[in-house]
Chains A and B, each alone.
Chain A
Amino acid sequence: MKHPPLNLRVSRTFSFVQGMSRRRSIRLTTEGTRFLLFTFGIGLAAINTGNNLFYLLLAMMLSLIVISGLLSEYCLRRLEFHRHVPDLIMANEPTTLTLSVTNRNRHLSSFSLRLLDVVEGQDVDRGLSIHLLPPQSSVLLSYPLLATKRGWIRFQGIRAYTLFPFGLFLKKGLYSTEAHLLVSPPIRPLTLRFVDELVSEGQGQSLPQRGHGTQLYNLRLYQPGDDSRAIHWMTTARTSQLIVRETEAEDQRRITVVLSIVAPEECAPLFERSVTFVASLLWQLTERAYPVRLIIGTEDSGLGSGSAHLLAMLRLLALCERQPPETNGVGHHGAHPPLTHEAERGYTVAVVPWSDQAAPTNMEQADRVLHATQLEELTHAF
């Protein structure tokens, strides 16, 4: 339906006013309420008596109110906020976030600023305050953040408020500083016996891989940064090109961790603990330098090792979502990845917080399946 132009204009004006009111708001403080009551009383006295000196006092009170509004507006005007957030943090681990505040006013300082974090539409007080921010200057504030659950945290903006100059009004301003922070599941200590057992079960399913060792793995062209001791001089002499020698890593075992994301509502706590368990297991295995692969639903991290690969897997874990089981069994295929006997997969550990007895899944093909009971036992201390 086409709106008539007038309606359109009115609705635009309304949305503009609404937007402005969202960005700026003003509230009376207790002192401000008393001050207004006094002003009202003096105004009444002035009208009743016609005494011009009462009008003068009334004008003084009104001018203090106006000055209050003007100066508080100047305190909040032309402030710029820049937020610096890390790519990934862990739940229940304190992290330091930084916020840069710049006063772009040419001449006027900003006073008595209190800053609130606007997260998911809610104002969160981090105890940030700036008493004085001179014109054309910046300040870098840092504050600790403790995320309690995995997933995205959406920082929408910063709400700054001030009581300057007289504490009569609380003026707030909203500044958009959109930022997203990914929170991975927390890392918990696992029993060493369990990890050792898992590792020993996976012995023998190794794949030649570059690393520290004595056996020749590969010969390749020298690249800047390579250790000069690794130059294979015979081949270099023969080919007239600098060739380096790569060795095969010793004791490399591949482990694939598969997480089932199908779980009913009542199993949600166990599912979350399972996610934490998987994250902790992956961390342990990475610490021991095992090539690890994580499969969650249709998401596959691929085989890899090292901290960068661990972070990629933690990102997958941070974003994975529980899927409720469907009564007709359709859709479980997406939630339960196919476990083929490919060579790369290596030793496979399936983490299944919930399984449907009536409709068995391919998880059973894994080398080691951790069911709800075992998971309860392993994660009860989390």
Chain B
Amino acid sequence: MPFDQAFALSSVFLAATAFTGLVLAQSVPLWLALPTAIILTISLLHAGGIHFVRQAMARVTVSPTLWNVLLIGALAILLIDLTVVSRDLLPAGIHFLVMLLAIKLLTLQQRRDYRHLYGISLMAILASAALTTDAWYVPIFLLYMLAAVWTLLLYHLTQETGETPAAVTPASTAAGQPTFPSRITHHFFWLTNGIAVLTVALTLAIFFLIPRIGAGMLQKTSGEALRTTGFSDRVDLGTIGSVKQDPQIVMRVELPDQPAIEKDRLYLRGLAYDQYNGRSWSHSGTRRRSLSLVADGTFLARPAGSRPLGSRSGTIRQDILLETLDTAVLFAVPFAELVSGEFLTVQADAMGGLHLPFPPSSRIRYSVTSQVPQLVENERTASVLAYPDSIRSHYLQVPLESQHVAELAHRVIQQATTPFGQTLAIQQHLLDNYRYSLEGDTATLSHPLEEFLFTRKTGYCEHYATAMVVMLRTVGIPARLVTGFLATEWNEYGGYFTVRQRDAHAWVEVYFPQSGWVTMDPTPSVSAAVTTSRWESLSRLGESVRLQWDRLFVRYSAKDQLAVVHGVREGSDALRERVRRWVSSLSAPISQVFSRLTHVARTFQPGMLELVTGVIVVGLALFLLMLRDRIGLWATTHLPTAHPELAIVQLYTRMLRTVERHGVSKPPAATASEFARLVEQEWKAAGPMVADVTALYHQGRFGRNPLTPGELSRAAEQVGRLQSLPHAAR
């Protein structure tokens, strides 16, 4: 492809990339995006040298006045957009930018027009950076950078070749001056792409190193908050069903300390409810306490003074990246002990729900350390449990019209003799006799629970959980309903759970006096949730990339820079320590042997030590002397020299010395070729090597072109072979 054509193509491609960025940021309306896309396509085809497009464009001649009118029109549209339509500078400015881009694409003639196009493209890619934090920006940015490198390089080179008059072209060329290619050659293609790769690498390095001194006052929020259900003060039975088909991502949860085997499902607790009126759940207490700060950004979620669950439970640490939601609830594996993040304050309600003062305006990242309660053994077998009054008063409430439910509960637990057995019996009854289904809206029914238990016998998590809580309460076991998310989608590429809206879940917490609240789930698992198709796998890979993008680029901060510095320092300390240990472990036996030898030498004779040292030094010197040929050969071909053309001469001289050591000397009158023939006669085994080195010597010393590194290596290899030939071979 000719340079001029490549230049035009890369310029339009640069503009197309920037425009695609704006379109993906959803900032260009269809009425503007469509004509601009058409103009871009025509420009690309024109620059690509498509014949009929070029012919058609050549026929169209438009006066400069029309372009001026178009510009004035664009300005007028900007004013209208600014005052009437968008009423915001950013969208109106972007629309104006796209119009300018389209007009400039139609008038690309002079180099000045190209410069304007680059300016507009840069503004466009800047605007798309302001409008998004999504991972699609990665390929757009990389393409833009690639196009920018090509365009800048070609802009400069086409200017150079255009400026150079024929008269100043060198008049004569002794070594055959290579002329600059007027077409994109294979070498130029890879050179430019190499520069682009180098630029990307350097960009990343600078990006991570550049100090973050921004206040972030004008930082854009990550978009509209996701609407969630089930996390308000009052939850109607059946409301969760509306989001059970929604695949939008709510959060990502990493378990840095957990082995992979335990990552099949994870309950992320949101809120708990204790009051059920037959149609909806609510809290009895609305008081919240502020969590105490125990370290920088770390809050103690357990009430101050209470003792931790200790050995009865396991610890799970979670790093959670929560999307922008319309709720201020913080989710965590039950039960949270420590919460850390960039929060000013965190609150907790009476039932262990964590809250921020207000819903966050952008994605937040926080870590939680939770203690998972486990049922103590004697409570499994105890026939009677003594519940405190505070528990009894709050968690045994049932609606008045639950008579049928109570009868059912008593019938189910007939065989069970312990509270724990009764709990399991109710759970098993629900698991065995009811079918999971999202069909049927129960939110409008007057008795949704009875409808689920006795009529439809189908429902989803809320119905199962409500049924279990009410049935447990009717038989005197304290229980409450919990809403949150059940994470089952493990991303093996990123090493985290992806939690979506459809993972919203309700389950049950049952109270045991010694064990505390124990999580139980009567909802049957849905087998269709696990998919292992290649597409799903790819989707998880993309999802992982998005998370990394968010973590490494979008949310990269001065704190991360400090963490990297600390990490590097700790890493270097660890490395230094390891090296020190390795050296000491290596040197200890040597020094022991040496000291033993010294001792032995001193015992035998006072001057023995000096003698041994002398022998070692002489031995080393002899060893180096034996290797001098190899070292010299290596140095000739590997060490940088100011006169690389002398390398072959040095190799040839080395070859002469080697052959001479074997008794074949070069007569002063003999030419190099004559000597090669002489060696062929005198020492047959060395003949081919000497002939090859001689040929290369001729080429390098007297030829027009210097030897390539490959040819030099070949010569060195031949001399090496010659040196390794035994004397007997002669």
Contact = CB atoms under 8 A, between A and B. Distances in A.
A49 B159 contact: no
Contacts of A34: 115, 119
Given A50-B212, A167-B156, A140 B141 contact: no
Contact of B218 (A49, A62, A127, A167): A49
B705 interface: yes
B212 A55 contact: yes
Nearest to B152: A166
A143 B126 contact: no
Contacts of A63: 199, 202-203, 205-206
Interface string A32-43: 001000100010
A130 interface: yes
B203 A49 contact: no
A134 B178 CA distance: 8
A38 B170 CA distance: 38
B507 to A, nearest CB: 38
Contacts of B165: 127
A55 B218 contact: no
A165 B151 CA distance: 11
Interface in B107-159: 115, 119, 122, 125-126, 129-130, 132-133, 137, 141, 145, 148-149, 152-153, 155-157, 159
A42 B199 contact: no
Contact of A53 (B168, B203, B206, B554): B554
Contact of B199 (A57, A64, A106): A64
Contacts of B152: 64, 165-168
Interface in B539-570: 553-556
A67 B198 contact: yes
A141 B199 contact: no
Contacts of A58: 206, 210
Interface in A323-347: none
A382 to B, nearest CB: 30
B153 A165 contact: yes
Interface residues of B, number: 67
B156 A112 contact: yes
Contact of A140 (B126, B170, B180, B199): B170
Contacts of B119: 34, 38
Given A49-B214, A50-B212, A164 B141 contact: no
A145 interface: no
A49 B219 contact: yes
A143 B173 CA distance: 12
A215 interface: no
B527 interface: no
Contacts of B642: 104
Contacts of A67: 195, 198-199, 202
B218 to A, nearest CB: 4
A167 B119 CA distance: 16
Given A141-B170, A142-B170, A165-B152, A54 B130 contact: yes
Nearest to A137: B175
A134 B187 CA distance: 11
Interface string B455-492: 00000000000000000000000000000000000000
Given A63-B199, A165-B195, A166-B153, A53 B173 contact: no
B194 to A, nearest CB: 11
A129 interface: yes
Interface in B485-532: none
B553 A167 contact: no
Contacts of B174: 100, 138-140
B207 interface: yes
B126 A57 contact: yes
Question: Chain A binding site: helix, strand, loop or mixed by DSSP?
Answer: mixed
A56 B141 contact: yes
A163 B220 contact: no
A59 interface: yes
Interface string A56-82: 111110111011000100000000000
A57 B122 CA distance: 9
A163 B198 contact: no
A55 B560 CA distance: 15
Contact of A132 (B172, B179, B213, B556): B179
A244 B173 CA distance: 48
A47 interface: yes
A88 B466 CA distance: 110
B99 to A, nearest CB: 21
A47 B216 CA distance: 7
Contact of B706 (A126, A127, A137, A164): A137
Contacts of B155: 166-167
A330 B25 CA distance: 93
B170 A131 contact: no
A239 interface: no
Contacts of A140: 170, 172-175, 177
Contacts of A134: 178
B204 interface: yes
Nearest to B644: A136
Contacts of A56: 129, 141, 203, 207, 553
A134 B180 CA distance: 10
B207 A59 contact: yes
A130 B214 contact: no
Contact of B215 (A50, A55, A129, A133): A50
Nearest to A102: B175
A106 B640 contact: yes
Nearest to A50: B216
B709 interface: yes
A326 B527 CA distance: 119
Contacts of B160: 112, 131, 163
Contacts of B210: 55, 58-59, 62
B62 interface: no
A132 B180 contact: yes
A52 interface: yes
A180 to B, nearest CB: 23
B555 A112 contact: no
Given A52-B555, A139-B173, A132 B206 contact: no
B145 A60 contact: yes
A166 B157 CA distance: 8
Contacts of B133: 53
A269 B116 CA distance: 56
A51 B181 CA distance: 42
Contacts of A57: 125-126, 129, 141
B214 A50 contact: yes
Contacts of A96: 171
Contacts of B709: 106
A230 interface: no
Interface string B160-172: 1100110111111
A46 interface: yes
B217 interface: yes
Contacts of A54: 126, 129-130
A57 B171 CA distance: 45
Nearest to B129: A53
A136 B705 CA distance: 9
Contacts of A168: 152
21 contacts: A34-B115, A34-B119, A45-B126, A46-B214, A49-B214, A49-B218, A50-B216, A52-B555, A55-B207, A56-B553, A57-B126, A59-B203, A59-B207, A59-B210, A60-B203, A64-B199, A66-B202, A98-B172, A136-B706, A137-B705, A140-B174
4 nearest A-B residue pairs (beta carbon): A50-B216, A127-B168, A131-B180, A50-B214
Given A57-B141, A64-B199, A140-B173, 18 more contacts: A38-B119, A47-B213, A50-B214, A52-B556, A54-B126, A55-B556, A56-B553, A59-B204, A63-B199, A63-B205, A64-B149, A133-B178, A137-B175, A141-B171, A164-B156, A165-B152, A165-B153, A168-B152
Interface of B: 115, 119, 122, 125-126, 129-130, 132-133, 137, 141, 145, 148-149, 152-153, 155-157, 159-161, 164-165, 167-175, 177-181, 195, 198-199, 202-207, 210, 212-220, 553-556, 640, 642, 644, 705-706, 709
